[in-house]
Structure 1
């Protein structure tokens, strides 16, 4: 079994050593490891650090470089280069548990021949050994149902079956540099399901400059991608999605549709009643005005 680890990085040379060490620790489980790194224009000698890893010749490492095109562009390119049976996106502030690949190997052998499955979804812990979300309620589900109908929260570690993952990419709109991963997951949900396993395989340490820490900045800089994301959610079967989640989606659809000047009230029809709609539309418009006027 071969695993391709995809890591986009920007000025994170100090963190790459930790991830590298965790990969070495997992190499004892008779797994062929391929680590693909995309340097997105780093200025902190990331290339030199990676060269040292490559020189050690302990695992297969491929280094690529692009100039400030963003995380999603980096992942799209690395997916095309991956040759493993499995693909795992692993940010530079993430690293693997000491027995992650043993667990992944065991679960992959269990489910690899099951039809219409695009991967395995594991738990992700923080550095204090706390689960970053809830435990899974169902073994087989979709990412949309997991977060919008089953009450899941927090990040997960997703192990993709390579033959399915290579059919999809992160769709960037209007030369934007970021789009939520969930947009691609939801497209995969249309044909496939994912197996959920209540075991941790990855540890995360959020950085102050990371994407998740700066969500409002991401919203403002990438409105077209978020507009498409929330529009696509509203066009899905919302049966089973609770009222609070519906409000969240509608509010953000209104916000981004006004930011990109593509508002269409028909998309909201059937998702909620007119009273709720009118209660949300004014705050949504005001928020879009605030976004336009606020400095990044």
Structure 2
């Protein structure tokens, strides 16, 4: 399907050895009640026939699809490539083993068009719906708002909402905040870029379960601790920046510092002095011995 030169929404999917699930996502995209979108898939080095599956979808010519293969570099690198390829005004990441509701894209566009009518629309990076389980339960628990205009930082740390959400960000803003790609590491927390965006922009959060997901064994969520151990410099960067976020309580900063040192002990390329400078806390280094003990116990 040729599609329009500049679709309104880019639905982006990073794929790695999930070819058995892509059909479910593809099916949910075909049933959308809004058709001005493209599906950009970046295959991060899959070896399970993902390319052949995508070729079949493209041959069906049902929706506008673009497929790109790259050597395995991690989800964050795939997102960076997806942003480069995206032609839509809005960038919506949907993982390869998830689906979206038939009204998802129309709800996103409706919320975004309402934002554009505001006098201060320039301060909005995008909109954000809810992720739900297959039975409709909200990931992280129900919310008590219909519409909430706050930064991603305040949403998590001031308002205290938990669980993954369905963020949809202006593509131009995503391009300004690429994920850091650290040589030899294949993981970077999704929230790192979202926190950076949250220093300068707000999102419109709306109460609508537009994104359905279940967390698979062996997926990124299931193995997040090990992924951080294997990519310690990225993990330390994430927690160092978290500890310096505006508006955090002392307890929240303490947790960020604890997690910094928890993964710093896995970093063989950065000195203790450099770590102390990076975390920017004169007292947090006292957690360093405890982090080594935790590493020993974990191993």
Q: What TM-score do the two structures reach when normalised by structure 1? A: 0.88
- 2:109 pairs with 1:105: yes
Q: What 5-or-longer segments of structure 2 have no aligned partner?
A: 1-6
Q: CA deviation at 1:232?
A: 1.2
SS of 1:263 mapped into structure 2:
helix
Q: CA deviation at 1:259?
A: 3.3
Q: CA deviation at 1:85?
A: 1.3
For residue 161 of structure 1, the aligned residue among 162, 165, 170 is 170
Q: Deviations over 1:5-48 (max 9, x none)?
A: 1111112112111101111100x33x312011111222222112
For residue 214 of structure 2, the aligned residue among 205, 221, 243 is 205
Separation (CA, whole Å) in 2 of partners of 1:42 and 1:256: 28
Residue 7 of structure 1 is matched in structure 2 by 13
Q: Deviations over 1:227-255 (max 9, x none)?
A: 11111122233x45262x33321211222
Distance verdict in 2 for CA 1:11–1:240, change over 3 Å: closer
Instruction: List aligned pairs for 1:188-267, cutoff 5 A.
Output: 188-237=197-246, 239-241=247-249, 243=251, 245-260=252-267, 261=271, 262-264=274-276, 267=280
Kept after mapping to 2: 8 A contact 1:127/1:205: yes
Residue 100 of structure 2 is matched in structure 1 by 96
Moved more, 255-264 or 76-85: 255-264
- 2:294 pairs with 1:287: yes
- 2:79 pairs with 1:67: no
Distance verdict in 2 for CA 1:62–1:255, change over 3 Å: same
Separation (CA, whole Å) in 1 of partners of 2:68 and 2:144: 36
Distance verdict in 2 for CA 1:259–1:48, change over 3 Å: closer
Kept after mapping to 2: 8 A contact 1:136/1:196: no
Residue 86 of structure 1 is matched in structure 2 by 90
**CA root-mean-square deviation:** 2.1
Kept after mapping to 1: 8 A contact 2:153/2:199: no
Separation (CA, whole Å) in 2 of partners of 1:283 and 1:14: 42
Kept after mapping to 2: 8 A contact 1:85/1:162: yes
Corresponding residue pairs, total: 282
Residue 182 of structure 1 is matched in structure 2 by 191
Kept after mapping to 2: 8 A contact 1:38/1:74: yes
Separation (CA, whole Å) in 2 of partners of 1:241 and 1:150: 12
Q: Deviations over 1:33-79 (max 9, x none)?
A: 20111112222221121111111111110111112212111111111
Q: CA deviation at 1:196?
A: 0.9
Kept after mapping to 2: 8 A contact 1:41/1:66: yes
Instruction: List aligned pairs for 1:19-38, cutoff 5 A.
Output: 19-26=25-32, 28-29=33-34, 31-38=35-42
Distance verdict in 2 for CA 1:155–1:242, change over 3 Å: farther
Q: What 5-or-longer segments of structure 1 have no aligned partner?
A: none
SS of 2:228 mapped into structure 1:
helix
